[in-house]
Amino acid sequence: MTKYFLTSESVTEGHPDKLADQISDGVLDAILTQDPYARVAVESMLTTGQVIVAGEVTTKAYIDVQDIARRILREAGYVKSEYGIDAASAGILVALHEQSPDIAQGVGRKVEKPELIGAGDQGMMFGYAADETPELMPAPLAFAHRITRELARARKTESLPYLRPDGKSQVTVEYENGTPKRIDAVLVSAQHDPNVSQAKMKSDIVNKIIKKVLPKKLIDKKTKFYVNPTGRFVIGGPQGDTGLTGRKIIVDTYGGAAPHGGGAFSGKDVTKVDRSAAYYARYAAKNIVAAGLAKRALVKVAYAIGIPKPLMVDIDTFGTGTISEKQLRVAVSKVFDFRPGMIIKQLNLRRPIYRQTASYGHFGRTDLDLPWEKTDKVNELRKFLT
């Protein structure tokens, strides 16, 4: 019998890093609405009363970056100056310039032939799936996302009217023989009005948030609950912590249950394999697990800038596969085409669908219709292997 623990975290849409991700992806979506073939690499930074949006863009589109940033701040709940940043009055600096032609020559030619489009950069990407939850995601991360989504819902509906936009959750799960056995600890840090007591907050969040969304069968008498462990979380958002695009990549992916190549997603068009190939690797991994070919699957891929064919595609099932990994690699190579242009074509990625992924994870999103979350290759995989 093997026991181990895994901890994952999530953050609300009002967390400063997630505000930056949403602004970067909001700019991307606005550009793609007018120009699906635009080249976009946009970063955002937020601090008290200030937003900076910078990066490289090559496009025919015209967009109002300031309006996008203000709308995202407003929708996240930053509508009062006492929160440290106010959508109406925040200072917004825009510093965008054209993409390097040295990069563009590798990804911008022969658009009509997607099989010839090269990778937008070098790097390695990972996709992962596990049968621990209905969404085929690691349990600690799935649980942490459920908590932060419920925190945001309770704030917006005013069922907990003292909540402010910033917040985080963290869940530790105890595993036994690779299966979640129990939830060992839950931590929630929720920004709040100064007049609410710590005792009320803990009671409300444990009973109306945590126990509402987590599986009752995994909570026992030894499960530990921590709410705002310092005792106070009034100053938050960009006033409490500078926000940057791409600083929550583990929250975006698999919560530490699988490797990460290091590249962020938000603000990048899909010629950047940091984004598109990571999505496609998840697509392949999820279909492998959904097909019953493994309980866990990690798909690994690597690219060279300007070259369509990946340098590597490999698969690890951690000893849970129902067939050999050699057979599985052959099957995946027949069913999935990892060339960047073919990924874009197959998943129809030149669409403004990205801002919605910039909070609560890019994977396992049962609330969104995302092409890389479909399991439409299951029958093809099974057919090939029989």
339 annotated as belonging to a binding site for a ligand: no
**Per residue in 88-133, pLDDT tens?**
999 999 999 886 555 555 555 444 588 888 898 899 999 999 999 9
Q: pLDDT at position 209, please?
A: 98
pTM of the complete model: 0.94
112 annotated as belonging to a binding site for a ligand: no
What is the Cα 288 distance to its own chain's centre? 21
221 annotated as belonging to a binding site for a ligand: no
Backbone angles phi, psi at 38, to 5 degrees: -65, 155
Angle at 162 between CA 160 and CA 163, to 5 degrees: 75
Q: pLDDT at position 99, please?
A: 63
Q: Which of 20, 32, 7, 53 lies closest to 183 in space, CA to CA?
A: 7
Q: How far apart are CA 256 and CA 313, in angstroms?
A: 21
pLDDT string in tens for the chain (386-residue length): 689 999 999 999 999 999 999 999 999 999 999 999 999 999 999 999 999 999 999 999 999 999 999 999 999 999 998 898 999 999 999 999 886 555 555 555 444 588 888 898 899 999 999 999 999 999 999 999 999 999 999 999 999 999 999 999 999 999 999 999 999 999 999 999 999 999 999 999 999 999 999 999 999 999 999 999 999 999 999 999 999 999 999 999 999 999 999 999 999 999 999 999 999 999 999 999 999 999 999 999 999 999 999 999 999 999 999 999 899 999 999 999 999 999 999 999 999 999 999 999 999 999 999 999 999 999 999 987 76
Backbone angles phi, psi at 164, to 5 degrees: -110, 175
Q: pLDDT at position 109, please?
A: 46
Q: pLDDT at position 98, please?
A: 80
43 annotated as belonging to a binding site for a ligand: yes
Q: pLDDT at position 110, please?
A: 42
Strand, coil or helix: what is 263? coil
241 annotated as belonging to a binding site for a ligand: yes
Q: Mind listing the domains of the chain with CATH numbers?
A: 3-12+138-237 (3.30.300.10), 123-132+273-385 (3.30.300.10)
Q: pLDDT at position 385, please?
A: 74
15 annotated as belonging to a binding site for a ligand: yes
233 annotated as belonging to a binding site for a ligand: yes
167 annotated as belonging to a binding site for a ligand: yes
268 annotated as belonging to a binding site for a ligand: yes
164 annotated as belonging to a binding site for a ligand: no
> 217 to each of 92, 179, 183, how far by Cα in Å?
48, 13, 9
274 annotated as belonging to a binding site for a ligand: no
Q: pLDDT at position 116, please?
A: 85
